[in-house]
Structure 1
């Protein structure tokens, strides 16, 4: 409904302002600019996507968006929505006849608070997803686990699986230990993936990075104890499949990790190819669907992406895995000589 309302308003608008430089705000700003509207993106923090990106990556992303018609202003506070734009702290006004707010998730905790449950930013839960009343569970965007409120769908599915195991007695030892998040920005002409502890510096871990601002490229690996604990890929992201698998599975990185930033150099292989991708590799981050599950679904008769989605929910979250799912289905059909 929000998207339909924005599209309807954009048809008659002359200028737009988007408040919030996280994932949704950037996607909205890029989408509006792509429709020919001048767009100003206003963000409170010092750089875009500050939860997922370090300062340099945020700067490169801002420059990429500027080339696509989005004016980016960071470190600004919006105090009031006006009839003809917004007013910033200090009195400056930014003109617009369409204002989109993309300011993040705020848990609705009133019912839990009224019931006497412990509430901080969200409803506080333990590793069993129980509140401080052991007969009441909370999952998803209203729940706060180990100080974190997740605003993405994948953690909700993982939390739901733990609760289901406990409630049904399937696995009384099931526990939620937090989610290993892989964030994909879905904006035309902007390729970005970020995962894990991207803000660590050389004082805390081994950091391998490459930056080419003129090309809109920034790549960063964060390695601790020989394992990949964080990564940023901005610009061409051919290595994202390999890095996601290393991150998800905690596998050792190569002795020379710089090859991971430049697939095809130093003999590094990218596991985007279905042939090289193990069945345990997670294809759909949102719904925790592996290549093996897609293969099993295909063997049961699913011959296209829609059938696979109906059976596994792959591609129905953010949609960022659709190309990979199509590739796996096409490869399986090709192996059996089936035309699609």
Structure 2
């Protein structure tokens, strides 16, 4: 397939994962149109990209993705659109209403985008959906090994419980996307990318540590000494992947014909607070006093389930960064940005 100047719509383009996808696509020669929620965010994005020499970027404003027809005007304004990457979906801890904060944006945003692509962008060949391991992992009934054949289940009643809202939003959104493809049979196909917790450095054009994703807060808080005495609770599914590998997976999913219609479990390995702390200690020994003691027990649960990422390796050609590399690079980027902000 190749890029060859193809034009990609990237939704949620100022998010952490999306920012890395943007870098990956630009480096591969794509022209990218990014959705942002305000003109101010769009201008700020272009300004930050101009500092890194990235120029094949424009933006369109989509204020509220849960709104009916949210993407219609944006898609009608883009000519000769070839591909779509849909990352826009909420993931944060500052929620008050599961339906309005998580479920509506995830579900309506996904189905609304697909419907608008179907209606107004006939040249689009493929949509890649950023989903989650939340749609694969099925607690408490874990198999010995997880792969793409596993589908997480949740009820709407479960979704109204705040701690289940994010997981439910991803499950319902992915399910709705698959139902749309089966029902409408559009001219484009669908690929889903399903990562677990995503760690790694901020992309080159993001200078502010406030742009870190929620998962990276675990690393940040460790180097700040906040877990020296009491570790943070581990987060299901105890699996991680480097954000740069997630970005590579999205680009490959756009390009590889055999990816059509498939979902990909993009996972590198298991993590624990102990393993992250050891990785920080190895790459940045000057931070050792901020960390839990080196002889602390590993807090990864015993008899943890395994994972199979063979499909991503064989179809997308993926190789994965290990935890030491991922954490070391993340810490280096955090320290660099902290220093630059205090100069």
TM range (shorter): 0.3 to 0.5
Write 1 or 2 for the structure with the bigger share of strand.
1
TM-score, with length taken from structure 2: 0.33
TM-score, with length taken from structure 1: 0.33
Indicate the structure whose relative CO is greater, using CA pairs within 8 Å and at least 6 residues apart: 2
Write 1 or 2 for the structure with the bigger share of helix.
2
| Bigger-Rg structure (1/2) | 1
